[in-house]
């Protein structure tokens, strides 16, 4: 049976809160990660989770993402998400 993990990468609001990243949830199924939303800070928070031992959240492995709706707090991390793999 494949292990499934749900990792909250950000639970912030549209307000500019210095202590919270924008909404993003990672569903890790085996070696694959599925992001649900990609708010501001998503790649940095994924990198943090990777450094804490969740290998599937290595930023260059983030290749699957779903957007629940087009509010900026759920989508503003998109640029980081698409440009990070080649950095």
- List the chain pLDDT tens, one digit each, 87 residues: 889 999 999 998 888 888 889 999 999 999 999 999 999 999 999 999 999 999 999 999 999 999 999 999 999 999 999 998 666
pLDDT in tens, 28-50: 999 999 999 999 999 999 999 99
Indicate if 55 belongs to the active site: no
What does each C-alpha distance from 70 to 43, 59, 78, 87 come to in angstroms? 19, 22, 11, 26
pTM attached to this predicted model: 0.91
Question: Which is the catalytic residue, given 37, 60, 73, 80?
Answer: 73
């Amino acid at each position: 049976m494949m292990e499934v993990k749900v990792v909250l990468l950000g639970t912030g609001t549209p307000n500019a809160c210095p202590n919270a990243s924008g909404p993003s949830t990672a569903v890790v199924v085996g070696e694959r990660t599925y992001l649900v939303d990609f708010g501001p800070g998503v790649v940095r928070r994924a990198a943090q989770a990777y450094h804490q031992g969740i290998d599937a959240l290595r930023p260059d492995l983030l290749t699957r993402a779903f957007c629940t709706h087009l509010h900026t707090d759920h989508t503003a991390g998109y640029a980081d998400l698409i440009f990070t793999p080649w950095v």
